[in-house]
Amino acid sequence: MFKKAVRWLNASPPRILLSGFALIILFGAELLRLPIASVSGSSMSFVDALFTATSATCVTGLVVLDTGTYFTTFGHWVILLLIQIGGIGFMTMATLFALILRRRISLKERLVLQESLNQGSIEGLVRLVRKVVFYALAVETVGALLYTFRFAADMSLGKAIYHGVFHSISIFNNAGFDLTGDFQSFFNYSEDIYMNVVSMGLIIVGGFGFVVLADLFDFRRRNKFSLHTRVVLSVSAGLIVIGTLVIFIFEFTNNRSIGSDGFGHKLLVSLFQSVTTRSGGVATVDVSEFRQATQFFMIILMFIGASPGSTGGGIKTTTFAVLVGAVFAMIRGKEDVVLFRHRLAQERVYKAVTVTLFCIGIVMLGTMLLATTEDAAFLKILFEVTSAFGTVGLSMGLTGDLTFAGKCTIIMLMFIGRLGPLTLTYALGPKPGRVLYRHSEGKIIIG
Protein backbone atom coordinates (compact mmCIF):
# COMPACT_ATOMS: atom_id res chain seq x y z
CA MET A 1 0.00 0.00 0.00
CA PHE A 2 2.80 2.39 0.95
CA LYS A 3 4.73 1.62 -2.24
CA LYS A 4 1.61 2.29 -4.32
CA ALA A 5 1.13 5.65 -2.60
CA VAL A 6 4.78 6.59 -3.27
CA ARG A 7 4.46 5.56 -6.93
CA TRP A 8 1.25 7.61 -7.26
CA LEU A 9 2.90 10.71 -5.78
CA ASN A 10 5.98 10.40 -7.97
CA ALA A 11 3.99 9.78 -11.14
CA SER A 12 3.77 13.43 -12.25
CA PRO A 13 4.89 16.94 -11.26
CA PRO A 14 1.32 18.06 -10.40
CA ARG A 15 1.02 15.21 -7.87
CA ILE A 16 4.33 16.15 -6.28
CA LEU A 17 3.14 19.76 -6.05
CA LEU A 18 -0.17 18.72 -4.50
CA SER A 19 1.43 16.44 -1.93
CA GLY A 20 4.15 18.97 -1.14
CA PHE A 21 1.69 21.76 -0.38
CA ALA A 22 -0.49 19.38 1.65
CA LEU A 23 2.45 18.22 3.79
CA ILE A 24 3.61 21.80 4.42
CA ILE A 25 0.08 22.78 5.51
CA LEU A 26 -0.23 19.79 7.85
CA PHE A 27 3.21 20.45 9.35
CA GLY A 28 2.35 24.14 9.81
CA ALA A 29 -0.96 23.23 11.45
CA GLU A 30 0.81 20.99 13.98
CA LEU A 31 3.27 23.80 14.81
CA LEU A 32 0.40 26.23 15.34
CA ARG A 33 -1.29 23.74 17.68
CA LEU A 34 1.66 23.84 20.05
CA PRO A 35 0.87 25.70 23.31
CA ILE A 36 3.84 28.00 22.65
CA ALA A 37 2.06 29.35 19.54
CA SER A 38 -0.92 30.86 21.38
CA VAL A 39 -1.00 33.65 23.96
CA SER A 40 -3.34 31.63 26.19
CA GLY A 41 -0.80 28.77 26.34
CA SER A 42 -3.40 26.19 25.30
CA SER A 43 -3.62 24.19 22.08
CA MET A 44 -6.06 25.43 19.45
CA SER A 45 -8.46 23.05 17.72
CA PHE A 46 -7.07 21.13 14.77
CA VAL A 47 -9.56 22.58 12.28
CA ASP A 48 -8.67 26.17 13.31
CA ALA A 49 -4.96 25.37 13.07
CA LEU A 50 -5.49 23.72 9.68
CA PHE A 51 -7.55 26.71 8.51
CA THR A 52 -4.83 29.18 9.56
CA ALA A 53 -2.01 27.09 8.08
CA THR A 54 -3.89 26.66 4.80
CA SER A 55 -4.69 30.37 4.63
CA ALA A 56 -1.02 31.24 5.22
CA THR A 57 0.48 28.65 2.86
CA CYS A 58 -2.07 29.46 0.15
CA VAL A 59 -1.38 33.19 0.78
CA THR A 60 -5.06 33.95 1.28
CA GLY A 61 -5.47 35.85 4.55
CA LEU A 62 -8.86 34.61 5.76
CA VAL A 63 -8.62 34.05 9.52
CA VAL A 64 -10.88 32.53 12.17
CA LEU A 65 -8.63 33.81 14.98
CA ASP A 66 -7.11 37.29 15.16
CA THR A 67 -3.46 37.01 14.17
CA GLY A 68 -2.23 39.97 16.21
CA THR A 69 -3.83 39.07 19.55
CA TYR A 70 -4.23 35.27 19.55
CA PHE A 71 -0.77 34.12 18.46
CA THR A 72 2.58 34.58 20.17
CA THR A 73 5.79 35.65 18.46
CA PHE A 74 6.46 31.97 17.74
CA GLY A 75 3.03 31.64 16.11
CA HIS A 76 3.66 34.77 14.05
CA TRP A 77 6.96 33.41 12.73
CA VAL A 78 5.35 30.07 11.83
CA ILE A 79 2.66 31.94 9.88
CA LEU A 80 5.31 34.14 8.24
CA LEU A 81 7.38 31.10 7.21
CA LEU A 82 4.29 29.45 5.70
CA ILE A 83 3.49 32.66 3.80
CA GLN A 84 7.02 32.86 2.41
CA ILE A 85 7.07 29.20 1.35
CA GLY A 86 3.57 29.41 -0.10
CA GLY A 87 4.19 32.71 -1.89
CA ILE A 88 7.50 31.91 -3.53
CA GLY A 89 6.67 28.22 -3.85
CA PHE A 90 8.09 25.29 -1.94
CA MET A 91 9.83 23.92 -5.04
CA THR A 92 11.54 27.29 -5.53
CA MET A 93 12.74 27.18 -1.92
CA ALA A 94 13.89 23.57 -2.29
CA THR A 95 15.78 24.43 -5.49
CA LEU A 96 17.43 27.36 -3.74
CA PHE A 97 18.71 25.12 -0.94
CA ALA A 98 19.93 22.60 -3.52
CA LEU A 99 21.86 25.37 -5.28
CA ILE A 100 23.36 26.53 -1.98
CA LEU A 101 24.47 22.96 -1.26
CA ARG A 102 25.79 22.74 -4.86
CA ARG A 103 23.54 19.77 -5.61
CA ARG A 104 22.60 19.06 -9.23
CA ILE A 105 18.95 19.75 -10.14
CA SER A 106 17.51 16.62 -11.79
CA LEU A 107 15.20 16.62 -14.81
CA LYS A 108 12.25 15.54 -12.67
CA GLU A 109 12.87 18.38 -10.23
CA ARG A 110 13.01 20.79 -13.16
CA LEU A 111 9.66 19.50 -14.41
CA VAL A 112 8.09 20.02 -10.98
CA LEU A 113 9.64 23.48 -10.86
CA GLN A 114 8.23 24.21 -14.30
CA GLU A 115 4.75 23.29 -13.03
CA SER A 116 5.23 25.33 -9.86
CA LEU A 117 6.31 28.49 -11.71
CA ASN A 118 3.74 27.96 -14.49
CA GLN A 119 6.40 28.04 -17.22
CA GLY A 120 6.14 26.74 -20.78
CA SER A 121 9.53 24.98 -20.80
CA ILE A 122 12.35 23.92 -18.49
CA GLU A 123 14.88 26.13 -20.23
CA GLY A 124 16.42 28.73 -17.91
CA LEU A 125 14.43 27.57 -14.86
CA VAL A 126 17.36 27.53 -12.43
CA ARG A 127 18.34 31.01 -13.55
CA LEU A 128 14.73 32.12 -13.02
CA VAL A 129 14.73 30.64 -9.49
CA ARG A 130 17.74 32.79 -8.58
CA LYS A 131 15.93 35.83 -9.91
CA VAL A 132 12.70 34.94 -8.11
CA VAL A 133 14.43 34.66 -4.73
CA PHE A 134 16.53 37.79 -5.31
CA TYR A 135 13.57 39.93 -6.40
CA ALA A 136 11.35 38.65 -3.58
CA LEU A 137 13.94 39.34 -0.88
CA ALA A 138 14.83 42.71 -2.40
CA VAL A 139 11.23 43.92 -2.56
CA GLU A 140 10.44 42.55 0.91
CA THR A 141 13.51 44.29 2.36
CA VAL A 142 12.54 47.64 0.84
CA GLY A 143 8.96 47.15 2.01
CA ALA A 144 10.11 46.29 5.54
CA LEU A 145 12.24 49.46 5.74
CA LEU A 146 9.38 51.64 4.47
CA TYR A 147 6.89 50.11 6.91
CA THR A 148 9.35 50.33 9.81
CA PHE A 149 9.83 54.05 9.14
CA ARG A 150 6.05 54.59 9.48
CA PHE A 151 5.45 52.21 12.40
CA ALA A 152 8.29 53.82 14.37
CA ALA A 153 6.04 56.88 14.82
CA ASP A 154 3.45 54.75 16.68
CA MET A 155 5.54 52.21 18.60
CA SER A 156 9.05 51.36 19.82
CA LEU A 157 11.76 50.81 17.20
CA GLY A 158 12.05 47.07 17.94
CA LYS A 159 8.32 46.56 17.60
CA ALA A 160 8.28 48.75 14.47
CA ILE A 161 10.93 46.56 12.82
CA TYR A 162 8.99 43.42 13.80
CA HIS A 163 5.74 44.80 12.36
CA GLY A 164 7.56 46.13 9.30
CA VAL A 165 9.08 42.76 8.41
CA PHE A 166 5.84 40.85 9.04
CA HIS A 167 3.62 43.15 7.00
CA SER A 168 6.11 43.49 4.16
CA ILE A 169 6.36 39.73 3.64
CA SER A 170 2.62 39.23 4.15
CA ILE A 171 1.49 41.98 1.79
CA PHE A 172 4.10 41.39 -0.94
CA ASN A 173 3.04 37.75 -1.04
CA ASN A 174 -0.59 38.94 -1.21
CA ALA A 175 -1.33 36.99 1.99
CA GLY A 176 -3.28 39.70 3.84
CA PHE A 177 -2.28 38.68 7.38
CA ASP A 178 -1.76 41.61 9.74
CA LEU A 179 -0.86 42.31 13.37
CA THR A 180 -3.15 45.31 13.93
CA GLY A 181 -5.50 43.32 16.20
CA ASP A 182 -9.28 42.92 16.55
CA PHE A 183 -9.68 41.98 12.87
CA GLN A 184 -9.20 45.65 11.97
CA SER A 185 -6.81 45.13 9.05
CA PHE A 186 -5.56 48.61 7.96
CA PHE A 187 -8.72 50.50 9.00
CA ASN A 188 -6.66 52.91 11.13
CA TYR A 189 -4.56 53.86 8.09
CA SER A 190 -7.39 54.60 5.65
CA GLU A 191 -6.38 58.27 5.45
CA ASP A 192 -2.62 57.65 5.64
CA ILE A 193 -1.37 58.25 2.09
CA TYR A 194 2.11 56.89 2.90
CA MET A 195 0.80 53.53 4.19
CA ASN A 196 -1.67 53.26 1.32
CA VAL A 197 0.97 53.88 -1.34
CA VAL A 198 3.52 51.45 0.21
CA SER A 199 0.89 48.72 0.64
CA MET A 200 -0.53 49.16 -2.86
CA GLY A 201 2.98 49.08 -4.33
CA LEU A 202 3.76 45.76 -2.61
CA ILE A 203 0.42 44.21 -3.63
CA ILE A 204 0.80 45.29 -7.27
CA VAL A 205 4.42 44.14 -7.56
CA GLY A 206 3.61 40.82 -5.85
CA GLY A 207 0.65 40.31 -8.19
CA PHE A 208 2.64 40.90 -11.39
CA GLY A 209 4.44 37.57 -11.22
CA PHE A 210 8.17 36.88 -11.09
CA VAL A 211 8.48 36.48 -14.87
CA VAL A 212 7.16 40.02 -15.32
CA LEU A 213 9.47 41.32 -12.59
CA ALA A 214 12.44 39.73 -14.35
CA ASP A 215 11.31 41.35 -17.61
CA LEU A 216 10.99 44.75 -15.92
CA PHE A 217 14.48 44.54 -14.41
CA ASP A 218 15.95 43.42 -17.75
CA PHE A 219 14.21 46.16 -19.75
CA ARG A 220 17.25 48.45 -19.91
CA ARG A 221 19.34 45.63 -21.36
CA ARG A 222 16.74 44.22 -23.79
CA ASN A 223 14.88 47.48 -24.45
CA LYS A 224 11.57 45.64 -24.98
CA PHE A 225 8.93 43.66 -23.12
CA SER A 226 7.67 40.17 -23.92
CA LEU A 227 4.06 39.72 -25.02
CA HIS A 228 3.24 38.18 -21.62
CA THR A 229 4.58 41.23 -19.77
CA ARG A 230 2.72 43.68 -22.00
CA VAL A 231 -0.55 41.82 -21.48
CA VAL A 232 -0.06 41.62 -17.70
CA LEU A 233 0.86 45.30 -17.34
CA SER A 234 -1.94 46.59 -19.57
CA VAL A 235 -4.68 44.37 -18.10
CA SER A 236 -3.53 45.05 -14.52
CA ALA A 237 -3.51 48.81 -15.08
CA GLY A 238 -6.90 48.69 -16.81
CA LEU A 239 -8.52 46.67 -14.03
CA ILE A 240 -7.11 48.95 -11.33
CA VAL A 241 -8.41 52.09 -13.08
CA ILE A 242 -11.82 50.59 -13.88
CA GLY A 243 -12.11 49.14 -10.38
CA THR A 244 -11.29 52.49 -8.79
CA LEU A 245 -13.85 54.33 -10.90
CA VAL A 246 -16.63 51.78 -10.29
CA ILE A 247 -16.07 51.67 -6.50
CA PHE A 248 -15.77 55.47 -6.36
CA ILE A 249 -19.02 56.02 -8.29
CA PHE A 250 -21.06 53.34 -6.48
CA GLU A 251 -19.90 54.38 -3.00
CA PHE A 252 -19.80 58.15 -3.54
CA THR A 253 -23.12 58.71 -1.72
CA ASN A 254 -22.99 55.71 0.63
CA ASN A 255 -22.67 57.23 4.11
CA ARG A 256 -22.03 53.80 5.65
CA SER A 257 -18.69 53.57 3.82
CA ILE A 258 -17.13 56.70 2.28
CA GLY A 259 -20.14 58.87 1.41
CA SER A 260 -19.48 61.41 4.20
CA ASP A 261 -15.70 61.64 3.52
CA GLY A 262 -13.84 64.22 1.48
CA PHE A 263 -13.19 63.77 -2.25
CA GLY A 264 -9.51 62.86 -1.77
CA HIS A 265 -10.25 60.23 0.86
CA LYS A 266 -13.01 58.72 -1.29
CA LEU A 267 -10.60 58.40 -4.19
CA LEU A 268 -7.82 56.92 -2.01
CA VAL A 269 -10.14 54.32 -0.46
CA SER A 270 -11.56 53.40 -3.87
CA LEU A 271 -8.08 52.98 -5.34
CA PHE A 272 -6.87 50.84 -2.43
CA GLN A 273 -9.92 48.53 -2.52
CA SER A 274 -9.51 48.14 -6.30
CA VAL A 275 -5.88 47.09 -5.83
CA THR A 276 -6.34 44.82 -2.80
CA THR A 277 -9.40 43.07 -4.28
CA ARG A 278 -7.17 41.55 -6.94
CA SER A 279 -5.55 39.33 -4.25
CA GLY A 280 -4.09 41.62 -1.55
CA GLY A 281 -6.44 40.75 1.29
CA VAL A 282 -5.93 43.86 3.45
CA ALA A 283 -8.59 46.57 3.63
CA THR A 284 -8.78 50.18 4.83
CA VAL A 285 -12.57 50.14 5.26
CA ASP A 286 -15.22 47.57 6.15
CA VAL A 287 -16.30 46.08 2.80
CA SER A 288 -19.47 44.67 4.42
CA GLU A 289 -20.75 48.27 4.52
CA PHE A 290 -20.42 48.69 0.75
CA ARG A 291 -23.46 48.61 -1.51
CA GLN A 292 -24.35 45.22 -2.95
CA ALA A 293 -23.48 46.44 -6.45
CA THR A 294 -19.97 47.30 -5.25
CA GLN A 295 -19.60 43.99 -3.45
CA PHE A 296 -20.65 42.06 -6.54
CA PHE A 297 -18.19 44.03 -8.68
CA MET A 298 -15.45 43.20 -6.15
CA ILE A 299 -16.37 39.52 -6.54
CA ILE A 300 -15.68 39.85 -10.27
CA LEU A 301 -12.29 41.46 -9.59
CA MET A 302 -11.42 38.72 -7.06
CA PHE A 303 -12.40 36.06 -9.59
CA ILE A 304 -10.03 37.55 -12.20
CA GLY A 305 -7.25 37.83 -9.62
CA ALA A 306 -3.55 38.45 -10.17
CA SER A 307 -1.14 37.28 -12.90
CA PRO A 308 0.46 33.87 -13.67
CA GLY A 309 3.56 32.97 -11.68
CA SER A 310 2.65 35.50 -8.98
CA THR A 311 1.67 35.14 -5.35
CA GLY A 312 -2.00 35.80 -6.17
CA GLY A 313 -4.89 33.61 -7.27
CA GLY A 314 -7.95 33.85 -9.52
CA ILE A 315 -8.25 32.87 -13.18
CA LYS A 316 -5.37 35.34 -13.82
CA THR A 317 -5.15 38.52 -15.89
CA THR A 318 -3.79 36.75 -18.98
CA THR A 319 -6.71 34.31 -19.01
CA PHE A 320 -9.11 37.26 -18.82
CA ALA A 321 -7.25 39.00 -21.66
CA VAL A 322 -7.46 35.90 -23.89
CA LEU A 323 -11.20 35.55 -23.22
CA VAL A 324 -11.83 39.21 -24.06
CA GLY A 325 -9.66 38.83 -27.17
CA ALA A 326 -11.63 35.76 -28.24
CA VAL A 327 -14.94 37.60 -27.82
CA PHE A 328 -13.72 40.54 -29.92
CA ALA A 329 -12.35 38.16 -32.58
CA MET A 330 -15.73 36.39 -32.78
CA ILE A 331 -17.65 39.69 -32.98
CA ARG A 332 -15.39 40.93 -35.78
CA GLY A 333 -15.62 37.63 -37.64
CA LYS A 334 -11.92 36.84 -37.24
CA GLU A 335 -10.51 33.35 -36.77
CA ASP A 336 -7.41 34.36 -34.81
CA VAL A 337 -7.17 35.92 -31.37
CA VAL A 338 -4.66 38.75 -31.62
CA LEU A 339 -3.06 40.62 -28.72
CA PHE A 340 -0.51 43.37 -29.36
CA ARG A 341 -0.18 42.23 -32.99
CA HIS A 342 0.61 38.65 -31.92
CA ARG A 343 -1.62 35.75 -32.90
CA LEU A 344 -2.35 33.31 -30.10
CA ALA A 345 -2.30 29.55 -30.65
CA GLN A 346 -5.71 27.88 -30.51
CA GLU A 347 -4.45 25.80 -27.60
CA ARG A 348 -4.05 28.98 -25.48
CA VAL A 349 -7.66 29.96 -26.15
CA TYR A 350 -8.93 26.46 -25.27
CA LYS A 351 -6.92 26.51 -22.06
CA ALA A 352 -8.28 29.95 -21.09
CA VAL A 353 -11.86 28.77 -21.63
CA THR A 354 -11.21 25.53 -19.73
CA VAL A 355 -9.63 27.31 -16.76
CA THR A 356 -12.49 29.82 -16.58
CA LEU A 357 -15.23 27.18 -16.74
CA PHE A 358 -13.43 25.05 -14.14
CA CYS A 359 -13.14 28.04 -11.82
CA ILE A 360 -16.79 29.01 -12.31
CA GLY A 361 -17.80 25.44 -11.51
CA ILE A 362 -15.68 25.32 -8.35
CA VAL A 363 -17.03 28.68 -7.12
CA MET A 364 -20.61 27.52 -7.84
CA LEU A 365 -20.08 24.24 -5.99
CA GLY A 366 -18.40 25.99 -3.04
CA THR A 367 -21.24 28.52 -2.87
CA MET A 368 -23.89 25.80 -2.85
CA LEU A 369 -22.06 23.88 -0.11
CA LEU A 370 -21.59 26.98 2.04
CA ALA A 371 -25.21 28.07 1.46
CA THR A 372 -26.23 24.66 2.85
CA THR A 373 -24.02 24.77 5.96
CA GLU A 374 -24.12 28.49 6.83
CA ASP A 375 -26.99 30.77 7.79
CA ALA A 376 -25.99 33.91 5.88
CA ALA A 377 -27.06 36.07 2.95
CA PHE A 378 -26.26 34.66 -0.50
CA LEU A 379 -24.02 37.57 -1.56
CA LYS A 380 -22.05 37.25 1.68
CA ILE A 381 -21.48 33.56 0.98
CA LEU A 382 -20.54 34.15 -2.67
CA PHE A 383 -18.09 36.86 -1.57
CA GLU A 384 -16.46 34.51 0.96
CA VAL A 385 -16.20 31.63 -1.52
CA THR A 386 -14.70 33.79 -4.28
CA SER A 387 -12.28 35.38 -1.81
CA ALA A 388 -11.11 31.94 -0.65
CA PHE A 389 -10.81 30.48 -4.15
CA GLY A 390 -9.08 33.61 -5.48
CA THR A 391 -6.74 33.51 -2.42
CA VAL A 392 -7.73 37.14 -1.76
CA GLY A 393 -8.53 37.15 1.97
CA LEU A 394 -11.23 39.84 2.05
CA SER A 395 -14.36 38.99 4.02
CA MET A 396 -17.75 40.49 4.79
CA GLY A 397 -17.55 39.09 8.32
CA LEU A 398 -18.53 35.48 7.67
CA THR A 399 -15.16 33.80 8.34
CA GLY A 400 -15.32 34.04 12.13
CA ASP A 401 -18.85 32.55 12.22
CA LEU A 402 -18.18 29.53 9.99
CA THR A 403 -19.34 26.11 11.14
CA PHE A 404 -17.00 23.11 11.11
CA ALA A 405 -18.31 22.07 7.66
CA GLY A 406 -17.99 25.67 6.46
CA LYS A 407 -14.36 25.85 7.57
CA CYS A 408 -13.57 22.59 5.77
CA THR A 409 -15.18 23.93 2.60
CA ILE A 410 -13.15 27.16 2.72
CA ILE A 411 -9.95 25.17 3.43
CA MET A 412 -10.51 23.12 0.26
CA LEU A 413 -11.30 26.24 -1.78
CA MET A 414 -8.10 27.97 -0.63
CA PHE A 415 -6.06 24.86 -1.42
CA ILE A 416 -7.57 24.44 -4.90
CA GLY A 417 -7.24 28.16 -5.58
CA ARG A 418 -3.52 28.18 -4.76
CA LEU A 419 -2.69 25.04 -6.74
CA GLY A 420 -4.95 25.91 -9.64
CA PRO A 421 -7.83 23.77 -10.91
CA LEU A 422 -5.89 22.37 -13.87
CA THR A 423 -2.95 21.31 -11.70
CA LEU A 424 -5.36 19.57 -9.34
CA THR A 425 -7.12 17.85 -12.26
CA TYR A 426 -3.82 16.66 -13.75
CA ALA A 427 -2.73 15.41 -10.32
CA LEU A 428 -5.90 13.46 -9.49
CA GLY A 429 -6.93 12.41 -13.00
CA PRO A 430 -5.66 9.36 -14.89
CA LYS A 431 -2.62 9.64 -17.13
CA PRO A 432 -3.85 10.52 -20.65
CA GLY A 433 -3.28 7.81 -23.21
CA ARG A 434 -2.22 8.21 -26.80
CA VAL A 435 -5.09 9.11 -29.14
CA LEU A 436 -5.05 6.81 -32.17
CA TYR A 437 -8.02 8.25 -34.07
CA ARG A 438 -10.20 11.34 -34.56
CA HIS A 439 -14.00 11.41 -34.72
CA SER A 440 -15.83 12.75 -37.74
CA GLU A 441 -16.70 16.45 -37.65
CA GLY A 442 -20.21 17.40 -36.56
CA LYS A 443 -22.14 20.65 -36.38
CA ILE A 444 -24.40 22.09 -33.70
CA ILE A 445 -26.21 25.41 -33.45
CA ILE A 446 -24.60 27.93 -31.07
CA GLY A 447 -26.40 30.99 -29.65
Domain layout of the chain by residue ranges? 16-427
236-277: per-residue pLDDT in tens? 999 999 999 999 999 999 999 888 888 999 999 999 999 999
406-440: per-residue pLDDT in tens? 999 999 999 888 877 666 665 555 566 666 677 77
Query: Residues 83, 173: contact at Cβ < 8 Å?
Result: yes
Q: Rounded mean pLDDT of 330-340?
A: 86
Q: Rounded mean pLDDT of 228-243?
A: 92
pLDDT value, residue 8: 45
Q: Rounded mean pLDDT of 139-150?
A: 93
Q: Does 348 have pLDDT greater than 80?
A: yes
pLDDT value, residue 86: 83
97-125: per-residue pLDDT in tens? 555 555 565 555 555 555 555 555 555 66
- Rounded Cα–Cα distance for residues 136 and 195 (Å): 20
Cα 84–chain centre separation: 13
pLDDT value, residue 106: 58
H helices, E strands: number in the chain? 20, 2
61-110: per-residue pLDDT in tens? 889 998 888 999 999 999 999 998 888 765 565 555 555 555 565 555 55
Contacts of 46 (CB under 8 A, 6+ apart): 29, 33
What percentage of residues in the chain have a pLDDT greater than 70? 83
- The β-bridge relationship of strands 342-343 and 338-339 is antiparallel
pLDDT value, residue 369: 95
pLDDT value, residue 447: 66
Query: What is the enclosing helix (H) or strand (E) of 139?
Result: helix 125-151
| DSSP code at position 277 | T
pLDDT value, residue 114: 56
- Alpha helices by DSSP H, listed for 396-435, are 404-419, 421-428
274-300: per-residue pLDDT in tens? 999 988 888 889 898 999 999 999 999
Q: HSE-up of 183 (CA within 13 Å, CB side)?
A: 15
| DSSP code at position 38 | B
Q: Rounded mean pLDDT of 397-401?
A: 88
pLDDT value, residue 434: 66
Find, among 395, 405, 396, 397, the residue nearest to 374 by Cα: 405
Q: The dihedral of CA 71, 74, 80, 84: what is its sign?
A: negative
Q: What is the dihedral of CA 187, 192, 196, 198, to 10 degrees?
A: -130
pLDDT value, residue 111: 57
